[in-house]
Amino acid sequence: MTTLFRTYHYDFKGEHRERNWDIYRMRVVEKRTLDSIGMKYGLSQERVRQIVAKGERITYRRAWIKEEAARKSDMVMEALNIPVAVLNVLGNMGVLDMPLKDFVKSHTPAAVLREYNCGRKKLRQLIAAIEEIDPDVSNIWTAGHGQNYNPAKHG
């Protein structure tokens, strides 16, 4: 039997972590009643319902975080919170309407720095704007596609 079970035992905190995870799993996967689960663990139906609700909140929060990250990586470069001078550099490159994830894949920091009228300060502002949106994307991008990136070497 295959299920899309998105809550794990380590998601529950405290001394009853394993018990709470088992309760959540029995209710969601096995579709057992609150009463039968409560009888097994010596809990009231209300307490079982609370534990299951907590598991559902954890699952919802995880899905929301994943959707938010996907939405942010689809943001176009023009929508970043950056100064006009940096937007002008990106406009000269022709990437203002490019999604952030595509820009990171196709352009390195060194390539941006080689653009006309782009210096270390503008590059740092661009990196800060990308980091504000998604720190993971910023870290990957500034690594220079597998090479350590050091702005002091450039310019």
- Domains of the chain are 9-71 (1.10.10), 77-149 (1.10.150)
More confident residue, 11 or 21: 21
The structure tokens 């990196």 sit at 127
> In the chain, what percentage of residues exceed pLDDT 70?
75
Contact 125, 151 (CB under 8 A): no
Contact 25, 56 (CB under 8 A): no
Q: So what's the pLDDT on residue 12?
A: 67
What b/e readout covers 93-124, taking b as 16+ CB neighbours within 10 angstroms?
bebbebebeebbeebbbeebbebeebeeebbe
Taking the whole predicted model, whether its pTM rises above 0.85 is answered as: no
How confident is residue 74, by pLDDT bands cut at 50, 70 and 90?
confident
How confident is residue 140, by pLDDT bands cut at 50, 70 and 90?
low
Instruction: Give the lowest-confidence range in 1-5, 30-34, 45-49, 114-118.
Output: 1-5
Q: How many whole angstroms separate alpha carbon 29 and alpha carbon 5?
A: 8
Q: So what's the pLDDT on residue 16?
A: 76
Locate 91 and state its tokens.
Answer: 């406009």
